Amino acid sequence: MYVYDLDRVREARADLVAAVPEGAQLLYSLKANPHPDLVGELLAGGCHAEVSSTGELSTALAAGAVPAEVFYTGPGKTAEELEIAVRAGVGTFSCESLVDLQRVAAAARECDREVDVVLRVNGAEAPGGAGMRMTGEASQFGTDVEILMGRRAELAGVRGVRLAGFHFFPLTNVYDEQSLLDEMTGSVRTAAALAGELGIEVRVLDLGGGFACPFAKEGERPRYPGLRAPLTAALDEHFPRWRATTRVLFESGRHLVGDSGVLLCTVSDVKDSRGTRFAVLDTGINHLGGLSGIGRLLPLAAAVLPVGSGDAEETAPGKIRLVGPLCTPADTLGRGAADVSAHVRVGQILAIPNVGAYGPTASLIGFLGRPAAAEIVVSDGDVVTASRLVLVREPVAPHTTSRQENTMETTPWDARYPKVLAEVLPRLGSSVGPDDNLRAAGLDSLALVDLLVRLEEAYDVTIPDDDLDPEAFATPASLWQVVEAALARTR
Ligand SMILES: Cc1ncc(COP(=O)(O)O)c(C=O)c1O
């Protein structure tokens, strides 16, 4: 069971606001933890949402994000997701490559819009050493600064987008303040040079993040008291009018939510094998650190702390392995210290600290079909919500393209129908097309029930279950036929 404390989230946000230049804006990266209550808390506190998928977009919108303030980032965006995001009114897109830029522009034109884009830059310098590097060397992220230089005419000629500035995210999980500062001031310099070369008036400058937090081990979230003044000076030097002309953004996931979460688990079995004691927990890489389980990250070395004052066993050996309930040796959460092994007995509750970021949704949630961990949110000492994620299988809808949409000259329904659809599926945006993909817009089984109830109320009809084969709710047009059939029965 995860427990997230919103008080810690509020503290982390306030600390980070105080660390970055006054007047800058914080974005919350939903990838760290898309739990609606955490997202809602950070939005209410003044953060804007940074999303990298339509799933994250719909979570952000449902949690109260204003579409025009959403920042849509990430590599490999598809034409379909971009159309959904543009229709939903997303304000700014970060483009990872020139292909990505063309795709964002095409989606904007398809929807008769113009959107702001920032170019994600892979800088040439890599001054900040520490942390997990994402750009500053050969990278799948961003466009190399030397590729962007000299493309002024080509970039200016892209219709459907307004080039609004630049996006940097070179490092993550950086404890060393000087490294972070060097990297960010380097980004400011690069942005100024690029702006001059490409003739871009920088209205948006996203300097990224990299703000750290311990993961699954004890420790304090670092503070960055020495960042604000020199970074403000760098902005003043390279963009003297930035306060009036430029939204300066910083992004953070783990630093904002990491220390808000603890994973509580219970020891299901304790067994000794050839000198090693194994504690089998009721949590594993299906709940925490799935990426390390499959070898994509360093092995997890979770610290576990006994909860409550259980008696220490006299005979406990020093070595203990903390393993999960999955049928693979990869399901190892760590090796507990000797003081933990003394407490480990069947039924003992243990706590893994600092797991508010990259917890359930970064884990192997479907592997072996065990339930996802419960997620409990507390605020001011009271429980706010208790829920868990559920994986649902659904039929895949036939693929439709926006070109097919445009061949439909008229929409067959009345004015109420698209409004009801958009209430339940905000990702459809204001102009609902007959062949829009309802599942891609978020129509899962819960949304379906909600939609049916609203349609029955709006049209004062009953829609029999027999009318609801999966094809019926593939598109607005197919679902409208069901509504029409129900209406015909009332005449
Ligand atoms: C572009 C971008 N923004 C934000 C983040 C969030 O990182 P963190 O949780 O370390 O703040 C990442 C993480 O990889 C990222 O790639």
Spell out which residues line ligand 1, taking CB within 6 angstroms: 29, 31-32, 50, 73, 134, 169, 172-173, 209, 211, 251-255, 357
What is the CA(253)–ligand 1 centre distance, in A? 6
pLDDT tens digits along 5-63 = 999 999 999 999 999 999 999 999 999 999 999 999 999 999 999 999 999 999 999 99
Return the number of other C-beta atoms located less than 10 Å from residue 26's C-beta.
23
pLDDT at 407: 42
Among 13, 29, 207, 256, the mutation site with the greatest number of ligand 1 atoms within 8 A of its Cβ is 29
pLDDT at 405: 46
Q: Which residues contact 236 (CB under 8 A, 6 or more apart)?
A: 242
What is the CA(88)–ligand 1 centre distance, in A? 23
Among 132, 179, 251, the mutation site with the greatest number of ligand 1 atoms within 8 A of its Cβ is 251
What is the CA(29)–ligand 1 centre distance, in A? 6
Instruction: Share the mean pLDDT of the chain.
Output: 89
What is the CA(193)–ligand 1 centre distance, in A? 24
Please report, for residues 218, 387, 404, 446, 462, the alpha-carbon distance to residue 474 in angstroms, rounded to integers and kept in the order given: 48, 28, 15, 15, 20
What is the CA(54)–ligand 1 centre distance, in A? 17
Among 70, 95, 169, the mutation site with the greatest number of ligand 1 atoms within 8 A of its Cβ is 169
What is the CA(172)–ligand 1 centre distance, in A? 6
Phi first, then psi, for residue 384 (nearest 5°) are -95, -50
Rounded-to-integer distance, Cα 67 and Cα 73, Å: 14
* Angle in degrees, CA 443, 444, 447, rounded to 5: 70
Return the number of other C-beta atoms located less than 10 Å from residue 189's C-beta.
16
What is the CA(384)–ligand 1 centre distance, in A? 27
Please name the residue that has the structure tokens 């000629």: 157
Dihedral (Cα; 158, 159, 164, 167), 10-degree rounding: -50
Domains and CATH numbers, the chain: 66-252 (3.20.20.10), 259-381 (2.40.37.10), 402-490 (1.10.1200.10)
Higher pLDDT, 439 or 62: 62
Specify the pairing of strand 25-29 against strand 2-5.
Answer: unpaired
Element (H, E) at 322: strand 320-323
Atom of ligand 1 minimally distant from the CA of 208: 3
User: Looking at ligand 1, which residue's alpha carbon is closest to its atom 14?
Assistant: 172
pLDDT at 409: 46
pLDDT tens digits along 53-93 = 999 999 999 999 999 999 999 999 999 999 999 999 999 99
Atom of ligand 1 minimally distant from the CA of 74: 1
> Which string of b and e fits 457-477 if b means at least 16 CB within 10 Å?
eebebebeeeeeeeeebbbbb
Among 28, 31, 120, 260, the mutation site with the greatest number of ligand 1 atoms within 8 A of its Cβ is 31
Rounded-to-integer distance, Cα 99 and Cα 142, Å: 11
For the cut 60, the answer to whether the pLDDT of residue 408 exceeds it is no
pLDDT at 296: 54
User: Looking at ligand 1, which residue's alpha carbon is closest to its atom 8?
Assistant: 253
Q: What is the mean pLDDT of residues 370-380?
A: 96
